Chains A and B, each alone.
Chain A
Amino acid sequence: MKKAFVVIGIGLAVSLLLTLFAGYEAFISNGSNTEGSPVITDINSNGGGNSPQTIIIGDARGTTGSAEIRGIPSFEELGGKIITKEQLNNFLRKKGLSIYVPKWVPEGLKLAAIWADTSKGIDFPIILVYSDGNDTDYKVSENKLVIEIRGFVNETMFEQITNKTLFEYYLSKGATPIIKDGELIGVIFDDAYCPTCVTCKTLPLAIVRIDNIEYWINYKDVNSIIELVRSMTQTDSLT
């Protein structure tokens, strides 16, 4: 009989844990938490008339890691695939393009995969994944270096709006400059939200422009990013 009570006790404990877990999930999903919370604002109001309602979403947002409720189709769903060096080189040759790749990367990292948008033939973004060799996923995370070559920059309208370049604006907001040969070629956001990271909420993000092509560089150490950007050299054929 005693044994039966012990088993029931374990069952009830599991049940309680399950209920608490489900409740926590529902709590997170319904956004009653303070971080990343979906807030139902005046759900029955319809604004309307000549006085539109203004909704302001602040910059102190949640960093809950995987909180997306609506979201977008993933890169691979839309045609993102791993390609070979040869395919990349053919793409560059066909387009008459050169890209810049680092001569130096942090110790222990090597080029593990090259991703590209293949929905209409190979095209930007080209994503270079450097890891210990096992991790070939294009998604940014804390254990690898991800260099996303996004293609040509389209920034004219921002300069029209603000009379500033985007880099000048980012620097005024506290970004770290990347200077190469006396020229401002990029900025680093030290604490950029990293929804695809596992053990941390933020990861440095560098935005670099060379020959009007934009590179987004994701790595855990700002000094290493600066060093590898300074080592970037032009190539029209990856070896």
Chain B
Amino acid sequence: MTLSKQFSKVASAVAMIMLLSLVIYTSYDALAVTRYYAGYRLQENYFGVSGSIYTIDPDVTGENIFAQWVCIVIDPARGYWVQIGYTKGFDTDYNLVFYAEVNDNYGYEIRFFGTPEPGDTYTYTIVADTYNGTRVWHGYIRQGGTLLYEIIIPADPIASYELQAFSEASTTDIVIDGTHFSGLAYYTGRDFLYWYTHTVYVSSPYWIEEISDYEFMAWGGGSVNPPQPLGMSIVG
């Protein structure tokens, strides 16, 4: 075999590898939307949600994200929602940050801000409100009695389908041990009251322990699943 023929074969192989990379990249992109959840739903259309979330700091690598949040689902068919929580991922330079995210008639936006401390508990609240004559989702992040952040999100339409409180991960490699949501509450228009019922949704391999209608713990993920404790539920 001549040198040029050998060179030609190597070059062809390189080109094939590059084309294969493109195919794999495209497939990866399609898979990248996979999400794993552990948490509660309140299937009622209240216009406010609140919950305290203990901050954990799991390892997150690659093109992945982890988040824990409370949310008002505005519409399932259009995919509208507003949510507030904390997160860590490729798009936060793997730092823990608070965030607010909305998807509605006005469009989509996510905003990162501040730095939650691992081991601290923060209370996240979203409530329908008015601000300078405009309907808004009014968000609050508190630590104990101290209001740390106030978030104003113009809302259109103002509507609610259900309330959610979830831990979310883009890969089961993320270990969510220590997850603890408490004081889940809904807004009556006057007061926040504890959730009086709930529906569990958990993606395998995560686990959830239902402490009450307004409190749960969750764990799991990583290469080895923890032993199954008493009182847990698995759904999904």
Partner of B108, one of A63, A148, A189: A63
The count of residues in chain A whose C-beta lies closer than 8 Å to any C-beta of chain B is: 93
For chain A residues 155-189, which have a beta carbon within 8 Å of chain B? 156-158, 160-162, 166, 169-170, 173, 189
Say yes or no for B228: interface residue by CB 8 A criterion. Answer: no
Residues in B with CB closer than 8 Å to A1 are 4, 7
B189 with A120: CB separation less than 8 A: no
- Interface SS majority for chain B: strand
Q: How far is the CB of A126 from chain B (nearest CB, A)?
A: 11
In Å, the complex CA distance between A1 and B22 comes to 26
A64–B113 Cα distance when bound, in Å, is: 22
Q: Are the C-beta atoms of A157 and B128 separated by less than 8 Å?
A: yes
Chain B 52-91: CB-based contact to A (< 8 A → 1; otherwise 0): 0000000000010101010101011111110101010111
Chain B interface bracket (under 10, 10 to 19, 20 to 34, 35 or more): 35 or more
Q: Are B15 and A11 in touch, CB under 8 angstroms?
A: yes
Q: Tell me whether A69 and B65 are in contact (CB under 8 A).
A: yes
Residues of A within 8 A of B90 (CB): 29
Query: Which of the 9-residue segments B151-159, B204-212, B215-223 touches chain A?
Result: B151-159
Among A85-93, A101-109, A193-201, A226-234, the stretch in contact with B: A193-201
Tell whether B214 is near chain A: CB-to-CB under 8 Å.
Answer: no
Q: Which residue of chain B has its CB nearest to the CB of A189? A: B105
Question: Are A7 and B101 interface neighbours, CB within 8 A?
Answer: no
Q: Are B109 and A36 in contact (CB under 8 A)?
A: yes
Selected contact of A196 from candidates B67, B79, B147, CB within 8 Å: B79
Task: Say whether B97 faces chain A, with CB atoms less than 8 Å apart.
Answer: yes
The answer to whether B21 has its CB under 8 Å from any CB of chain A is: yes
Q: Spell out A's residues near B (CB within 8 Å).
A: 1, 3-4, 7-8, 10-11, 14-15, 17-18, 21-22, 25, 29-31, 35-50, 52-64, 67-75, 77-78, 80, 117, 119-120, 123, 125, 127, 138-140, 146, 148, 150-151, 154, 156-158, 160-162, 166, 169-170, 173, 189, 192-196, 205, 207, 214, 216, 218
7 more A-B contacts (CB under 8 A) besides A43-B92, A43-B113, A57-B151? A3-B8, A14-B18, A38-B110, A54-B149, A80-B76, A157-B190, A193-B104
